[in-house]
Structure 1
Amino acid sequence: MIPSPAICVILASPGARRVPSLSGSPRAVPPRRPMSLPEKGRGAEELLAEIARLRQDDLPVRGGKVTAYVYDTGRPEVHEAAAAAYFEMLEVNTLDPTAFPSVVEMEKQVVGAVAELLGGGCGIFTSGGTESIMLAVKAARDSRRVPGRPRMAVPVTAHPAFHKAAHYLGVEVDPVEVDPVTFRASPEAAEAAITKDTVLVVASAPSYPQGVVDPVAELAGIAAARGVPCHVDACVGGWLLPWLREAGARIPPFDLSVPGVTSLSCDLHKFGYSPKGASVVLFADPALRRRAYFASASWPGYTVINATVQSSKSAGPLGGAWATLHALGREGYLELGRATLAAARRLREGLAAIPGLRVLGDPESALVAFGSDELDVFVLSDEARKRGWFLQPQLSYAGIPANIHVTVTGVTLRGVEAMLEVIAESARAARERGPARLPEGLVELVAGLDLDALDDAAFAELAASVGVDLGGSGQPEMAVVNAVLDALPASKREEILIRFLSVIYS
C-alpha cells in the first residue's frame, strides 16, 4: 500500500461531473470529438492513410508477440488468399441462401470439413464461438422442455459465452467445480449439479484459462444417463487438438464420436487461422440442429428463416474460412500442429526454469498459463508490454490464482526463445518493483460505489483520479487496474467492466 491520501468522497447525482476522488482536485476529462461527415467524399489513398494513423497504437496482428486475440500461421500467402476471398464475398448477403447459392455450397464444404475432423454430425457456420454456443444452448433448451426454469451445469473454467447465452435465453447457470490441481471439471460435481430442470451439461476441450481438456467421456456419460444433452466447447481446441494428436501429443477423446456428446463448437478463426469471424457449431443429428434455427411468418414481408442469431450478414468471413482451409490443406495444418506442439513444449520447459514461475496444471493443448507465489503477475505483464510483448493477465477466480495466459500459435516457434527471455527479464523487473501499489482505501471505496449514481463522464473522472486515463492512447500499464479488479467480487468486476466499455465508446 502507498501512503494514504485524503479520500474525498463527493456524492454525485446522475449527470453530475464531480465524483468520488482520491485527491481534492479531480482531473477534467477531455471532450470526445464525434465524426463529422465530410461535405465531399474522400479518396481511397487518403482514407487508408487515416486508417494507418488510427491503428498506430494497435497491438500487432502478425509475428507472434501478441499471445492472445490473434492467430498467425507465419505464412503471408495464406492470409493474402483468405483476404482476397473475403473481399470477393464481401457484398454477398447470406440472409437468403436461395438468392446466393454460393454460400450454401461454401458452407456445406466448410462445415463438412469440420464434421469430418470432429466425429461427424451436421452443423451451422456462425460468426464466432459466442454465437455457436448461443445456438447450442438454444437448441438444448428447445429440445428438452422442463417444468421449471431451464438450467445448465457449467464448469467454472468454461467460457463466459455460456453465461452470456444464459442471460439472453433465460437459462440458469449451475457452476461446476474443477479439480484445484488439474483444473479439469469434476464429474462428481457435474452429476450433483444436474436437476430435473437441467437442459445441458457443458465440457471444454480445452478450457481457455489453463488449456486443459475436461473429462469429456465421463461428463457426457453422466449427462446421457440422465437424458440431458452435452455440449463440448472446442472453440479453441476443435481445429487444433486433432493435429496435435497426429503430431504425437496425447489428446483424450473429446468430439462427437464420444457417446453422449450431442453438440460441439469449433472456431475456425482461431487455430483454423481464418479471418474473423468464423466458427462452426456441430450437432449430433439434424433434429437437434433444427432446434437452433429460427423462422417467422408473423408479418406480411419477405420469408424469414435464420440459421444464426444474425439475419443479414456478409459472406466475407465464410469466403475467408473456405479459402484458408483450401490454402493450407491437411499437410499445412499438420505442419502447423507440429510447430505449435514443439513451441508449447519449449515454453513450458523454459517457464519451469525461470525462478518464481510455475505452469498451472498439465495442459494438453497450446494454451499455457503460469503464475507465481513470489511476484506480481500483473506487474510482470506490464513489464513484458514495455518490451513489446503482450502476455494476457487473468484474474483469480474460484480458488484459481491470478496468472498469465499465453496462446501458442503456428508462428510462435520462431520466437519462443525471445519470448522466454522477455518473460525472464520481466519477472526480474517485477520482483524488483514489487506488487502493484494501491492507494489505501481504494478497493473499499470502489466496492462500495453505487455506479448507477455516476454518469460515464463522472466514472471516467474517477478513473483519472487514480491515474487511469480511459481516453488515452498507446498501450497503458494495467497492473493497478487488474489488482483492483482482482480484489473485488465477480459481480462488482462486471459492473466496472460494463462502465469501462460505456466510457471508452462515449
Structure 2
Amino acid sequence: MSLADRRGAPGPPGGVPQGACGAIHSARENRVLPENGRSAEDILAELALLKRDDLEVRGGKVTAYVYDTGRPEVHDAAARAYFEMLEVNTLDPTAFPSIVAMEKQVVGAVAELLGGGPHTPGIFTSGGTESIMLAVKAARDARPVAGRPRIVVPVTAHPAFHKAAHYLGAEVAPVDVDPVTFRADPAAVAAAITPETVLVVASAPSYPQGVVDPVAEIAALAAERGVLCHVDACVGGWLLPWLAQAGAAVPPFDLSVPGVTSISCDLHKFGYAPKGASVVLFADPALRRAAYFASAAWPGYTVINTTVQSSKSAGPLAGAWATLNALGRDGYLGLARDTLAATRRLAEGVGEIPGLRVLGEPEASLVAFTGEDGVDVFVLSDEARKRGWFLQPQLSYAGIPANLHVTVTGVTLKGVEAMLEVIAESAAAARRRGPAKVPEGLADILASLDLDALDDATFAELAASVGVDLGGSGGPDMAVVNTVLDTLPAATREAILIRFLSLLYG
C-alpha cells in the first residue's frame, strides 16, 4: 500500500480517530528535519533558492544594513578567517589563547584610533547593541544610586539604549534635539540630569540624520555633576577619524575629550568586517570590570563573561581581525576619501531634485532627506525598490518629518550618479501617484485596538486589508503600512511591529 493509499485507510486499533491518524502522518511528511542527511550540493542549492528575494549585499544598491568596500579580496580574506575560527568557542579564553591575542589587537586598533592608549581597556562584542548594553551595565554597577538608575538620551540616540534600559531595569530620560541641526541640546541634557542619573549619552553621529552631537559640551556638563558619559560612535567610530584625515571637518568626540568615559564602535559597519563585530572602550579599567559578569553560585564550570553572550563563535572576531589587516591604514583612508566624495555628491544631488530636502548637514556618511510639494517619501521608497534600489524609510518623531535614509559606503562613489537618477525618477513617480492611500478610519481602528486580544490569523487579515501579504514572495509595497504607522504614537507602533514580527515567524 502506498503512502497516498494509507491516508484513506481505517484508523488503527485503540480508538484513535481517522482524522488524528491523518494529522500524525501529515506531520511526519512535513518534518523540517530530514529523515536522512542531505548532500552539501543539495543544501546549498536550496539555500540559493531561499535567498532569491533577499536584498543584495554587494554593489551599493542597498543603502542600509550592509557595508561594502567594493574590494572582493578583502571580503574573501575575512570569510576565510571567519571559517577558520568558526568552531572556536570564546567562552573560555584560557582554552583558546588565539582569541585573546586577536581581541587585544582589534581592541588596541580601535583604541589607537579613538583617543586611547596601548592599554585602554575594551571588549569585543557582537554588535552595537551589545556594546551599548555593556556600557549601560557598567554605568549602573559602577555608580549605584538609591532609586531606579536613569540614563539621559537624546531622542535621536539609537533605540539600543532603550533596549538596554529595558533589560537592565533603568529608566530612559529622552531629551529633544535642535529642530534645525538635529544635534542634542546641552541645556536640555543638563536639565534632565537628576541624582538617579548614571549615564549621559551623545552620538557621533546619530543615525537618523548623520550629525555629531556636541560631545565636548555634553561630556563636560556630565563630569561637573559626577555622571558618566557614553559616546555612541557605533556608526562613526571607525569612519570619522579617517574622514578627518581625508579633509572633512570632524568635531572632537572620542576618549580624548574630557568627561567621555566610554565609547562604542562597530567594526561591521565602516570597519567593513563581517557581521557580529563591535568594540566598547572604557576610560577606566574599573568600568570595564563593571561590565563583566561572573557567577560562582553553582557546582559547574567557572562562569566569567566579558559580554552578554556566553558561548559564541570566534568567527566574527577572526573576520574583524582579518579585515583590519587586509585593508590597513592606507586602505581605510582610501575608502574614506571615496565615501566623503560620494556623501557630498549625494547630498548636493538630492538637494537639486524637485520636492526633496536634505535634513541637517551630514557630518559622517549618512544622508536623510524628506519630501515636500506632493512627494511622499514612503511612495518614493517603494518606487525605488521597483527599480532595484533600497532606500530606508524613517518615520516622523519628535517634530522630525518622515524621511528616507541612505548609508554611503566605500562602494557608493561608483554608483552615486545612478542612485541620484533613480531617486529623481522615483520622486517623479511618487508625485504622479500621490500620497499613499490609507483605508478610511484604519489608523483610528488600530489606535483603539487591543492588539493582545487578536490572534495571529485575525492580525494577518488586518495586514492583508492594507495590501501586506507576509506569506508571499519578494518585498511588499510598504508605503501604506509606513503611512499608517506614521500616524500612530510610538507605543502603538511598537505593538504593531511586534505583531508583524510574530506573524512573519509564525
Q: TM-score, normalised by structure 2?
A: 0.93
Deviation digits for residues 316-343 of structure 1, max 9, x if unmatched?
0000000000000000000000000000
Q: Which residue of 2 aligns with 1:505?
A: 505
Q: Where does 1:353-392 land on structure 2 (aligned, <5 Å)?
A: 353-374=352-373, 375-392=375-392
Deviation digits for residues 60-91 of structure 1, max 9, x if unmatched?
00000000000000000000000000000000
Q: Which residue of 1 aligns with 2:496?
A: 496
User: Could you tell me how far 1:348 is from its partner in structure 2?
Assistant: 0.7
> Matched residue of 1:56: which SS?
helix
- The yes-or-no answer on 1:75 pairing with 2:71 is yes
Q: Which residue of 1 aligns with 2:17?
A: none
- Letter paired with 2:258: P
User: Could you tell me how far 1:35 is from its partner in structure 2?
Assistant: 5.0
Q: Which residue of 1 aligns with 2:5?
A: none
Q: Which residue of 1 aligns with 2:20?
A: none
Please say if residues 466 and 481 of structure 2, whose CA atoms lie closer than 8 Å, have aligned partners that are also in contact.
no
Give the structure with higher Rg (CA).
2
- The yes-or-no answer on 1:37 pairing with 2:36 is no
4+ runs of 1 displaced by more than 6 Å? Answer: none
Q: Which residue of 2 aligns with 1:327?
A: 326
- Letter paired with 1:122: P
Which structure 1 segments of 5+ residues have no match?
1-30
Please say if residues 438 and 466 of structure 2, whose CA atoms lie closer than 8 Å, have aligned partners that are also in contact.
no
Q: Which residue of 2 aligns with 1:130?
A: 129
User: Could you tell me how far 1:466 is from its partner in structure 2?
Assistant: 2.4
- Matches of 1:460 and 1:35, distance apart in 2: 24
- Matches of 2:32 and 2:369, distance apart in 1: 46
- Matches of 1:332 and 1:164, distance apart in 2: 35
- Matches of 1:36 and 1:234, distance apart in 2: 41
- Letter paired with 2:381: S
- Matches of 2:441 and 2:30, distance apart in 1: 36
- Matches of 1:455 and 1:437, distance apart in 2: 26
Q: Which residue of 2 aligns with 1:262?
A: 261
Please say if residues 266 and 277 of structure 2, whose CA atoms lie closer than 8 Å, have aligned partners that are also in contact.
yes
Q: Where does 1:337-348 land on structure 2 (aligned, <5 Å)?
A: 337-348=336-347
Q: Where does 1:50-449 land on structure 2 (aligned, <5 Å)?
A: 50-120=46-116, 121-374=120-373, 375-449=375-449
- Matches of 2:407 and 2:39, distance apart in 1: 39
- Letter paired with 1:364: E
Which structure 2 segments of 5+ residues have no match?
1-26
- Matches of 2:195 and 2:456, distance apart in 1: 43
Query: Alignment length, in residue pairs?
Result: 475
Q: Which residue of 1 aligns with 2:476?
A: 476
- The yes-or-no answer on 1:456 pairing with 2:456 is yes
User: Could you tell me how far 1:39 is from its partner in structure 2?
Assistant: 1.2
Q: TM-score, normalised by structure 1?
A: 0.93
User: Could you tell me how far 1:373 is from its partner in structure 2?
Assistant: 2.1
Shift in alpha-carbon separation, 1:418–1:107, aligned structure 2, 3 A: same
Q: Which residue of 1 aligns with 2:467?
A: 467
User: Could you tell me how far 1:465 is from its partner in structure 2?
Assistant: 2.3
> Matched residue of 1:275: which SS?
coil
Please say if residues 369 and 404 of structure 2, whose CA atoms lie closer than 8 Å, have aligned partners that are also in contact.
yes
- Matches of 1:92 and 1:104, distance apart in 2: 12
- Matches of 1:35 and 1:376, distance apart in 2: 45
- Matches of 1:404 and 1:56, distance apart in 2: 25
- Matches of 1:46 and 1:136, distance apart in 2: 44
- Letter paired with 1:90: L
- Letter paired with 2:124: F
User: Could you tell me how far 1:457 is from its partner in structure 2?
Assistant: 2.1
Please say if residues 135 and 280 of structure 2, whose CA atoms lie closer than 8 Å, have aligned partners that are also in contact.
yes
Greater shift, 413-422 or 351-360, is seen at: 351-360
- Matches of 1:498 and 1:266, distance apart in 2: 28
User: Could you tell me how far 1:37 is from its partner in structure 2?
Assistant: 1.4
- Matches of 1:456 and 1:472, distance apart in 2: 16
- Matches of 2:390 and 2:415, distance apart in 1: 13
User: Could you tell me how far 1:34 is from its partner in structure 2?
Assistant: 6.6
Shift in alpha-carbon separation, 1:151–1:432, aligned structure 2, 3 A: same
- Letter paired with 1:201: V
- Letter paired with 2:261: T
- Matches of 2:380 and 2:286, distance apart in 1: 50
User: Could you tell me how far 1:441 is from its partner in structure 2?
Assistant: 0.5
- Matches of 1:458 and 1:105, distance apart in 2: 53
User: Could you tell me how far 1:243 is from its partner in structure 2?
Assistant: 0.5
Deviation digits for residues 25-58 of structure 1, max 9, x if unmatched?
xxxxxx9x97521111000011111000000000
> Matched residue of 1:105: which SS?
helix
Please say if residues 127 and 266 of structure 2, whose CA atoms lie closer than 8 Å, have aligned partners that are also in contact.
yes
- Matches of 1:241 and 1:455, distance apart in 2: 47
Please say if residues 125 and 277 of structure 2, whose CA atoms lie closer than 8 Å, have aligned partners that are also in contact.
yes
* % identity of equivalent residues: 81
- Matches of 2:355 and 2:450, distance apart in 1: 39
- Letter paired with 2:225: R
> Matched residue of 2:52: which SS?
coil
> Matched residue of 1:253: which SS?
coil
User: Could you tell me how far 1:407 is from its partner in structure 2?
Assistant: 0.2
Deviation digits for residues 353-400 of structure 1, max 9, x if unmatched?
101111100111100000122210000000000000000010000000
